[in-house]
Amino acid sequence: MLVSDWGAVTAVGWLLLGLFFACAIVPIVIAWKQRIPISLGIVISLLLCWALQTILSYFVGTAGFLEGALAVSPILQTDITQSHRLLTSAWLHATGYGGGISIAHILGNVLVIALVGIPLEQRLGRHRFLAIYLIGAFAGNIAWWLSHWGEYRMAIGASGAAFGLLGCYLACWPRDEIEFPLILIRKWPVALIALLKLGLEIVQVGMLQTGFTEPTSIANLAHIGGFFACYLVGRPIAKGGPTPLEVRDAGPDAGSLEKGERQERLHKMGSVSSDPWSAAGKELEGGAAQSLEKLRIEGDELETRQAWLEELAEEADCPECGGPLTVEVNDEVARMRCTKSKKHLYWP
């Protein structure tokens, strides 16, 4: 049953929605903070949401409630209050309504997200990987909505996001080989996996359009939409990331993710070639000037950057107000700021 009026949702309904969003968000947040691969956090998130759906399907009063409130529904998508469905539906999967259990839908998606997502995340870095995942989910649902304009039926699943990962991987590192179950579970070239999966979807859509097969519950156009959207944006997003495009090496390994994340933090450090004191006409002197020079010479690593910034903060004052300085460290990236206001100094 579609939930089109939020005012009609009961207190129990809001509680279930809160529990669903906790299942969806908490594993990803924990993975982010603990530096666990985001792809694994997403897999756990999807499994928890599916488990909640399955439990609710055993009860007449709650069966189908989450789907009715959160799944893509073409007949409702023109309502701005229903726009969340274009993303939330990617955390819903088919269950065995009425007491049964269906695992094919969720298993197919989490296998792709884990087997393709982990090596892709090692190539992209976590920020870019999460962006690609969300773009795939959103674009896949947009494609399904537009191709089923005005229809009543709903669509659920993370397939658009999963195919988006394949599209991005094909665009950026097609020569990588990753473990994947095609004929056998072994390493296959990414190009082969991606093009084979895409080809099968296109064939299926063609068969449906010509009436060769009966319509199914599989949202093939969502798969294709997610794939091509991420194929198009994959290279621009990956450019400047931790791994050069189309690099030919031994492929992602266990240390690649950590190396990639460190490289991302190095990119965020900022330049110290110019300084706020010179810009304000208040050139540093004595020990402060020496620390600034050392910072420029030796501060090209996270640890040495922080050490020399802390040294400089003790010897220099804010060029704006003359107040004391301190050093903030966020995700291992150190920056100096005025203790009175960041508007006075937040550098580099």
Residue 125 phi, psi (nearest 5): 90, 155
For residue 34, count CB atoms less than 10 angstroms from its CB and return exposed for 0-12, middle for 13-18, buried for 19 or more.
exposed
Architecture per CATH, 6-261: Up-down Bundle (1.20)
- Model confidence, pTM: 0.75
Per-residue pLDDT of the chain (348 residues; tens, 9 = 90+): 788 788 888 999 999 999 999 999 999 999 999 889 999 999 999 999 999 999 998 888 888 899 999 999 999 988 998 999 999 999 999 887 555 567 888 998 999 999 999 999 999 989 999 999 999 999 999 999 998 888 888 889 999 999 999 999 999 999 999 999 888 888 899 999 999 999 988 888 777 767 666 655 567 788 999 999 999 999 999 998 888 888 776 567 545 555 556 666 667 778 888 888 888 888 888 888 888 888 888 888 888 888 988 888 988 999 889 889 998 888 788 898 998 888 888 888
Q: Would you list the domain boundaries of the chain?
A: 6-261, 269-347
- Would you state the structure tokens that stand for residue 109, as one six-digit string? 């998606």
Q: What is the 3-state secondary structure (H, E, C) of 267-313?
A: HHCCCCCCCHHHHCCCCCCHHHHHHHHHHHHHCCCHHHHHHHHHHHH
Closest by Cα among 56, 50, 73, 72 to 15: 56
What one-character-per-residue DSSP string does 201-246 give? HHHHHHHHHTTSS---S--HHHHHHHHHHHHHHHHHHHTTSSS-TT
Determine the pLDDT at residue 220: 79
Residue 347, CA distances (Å) to 227, 301, 312 in order:
40, 16, 12
pLDDT of residue 11: 94
- Give the residue among 9, 97, 94 at the shortest CA–CA distance from 56: 97
Predicted pLDDT of residue 233: 96
Residues in the chain: 348
Nearest-angstrom CA–CA distance, 348 and 286: 21
Place of tokens 């594993």: 27
Q: What is the DSSP letter of 5?
A: -
What local confidence, expressed as pLDDT, does residue 254 receive?
A: 47
- The pLDDT assigned to 100 comes to 56
User: What was the pLDDT predicted at 231?
Assistant: 97
Label residue 36 exposed, middle or buried (CB < 10 Å: 0-12, 13-18, 19+). middle
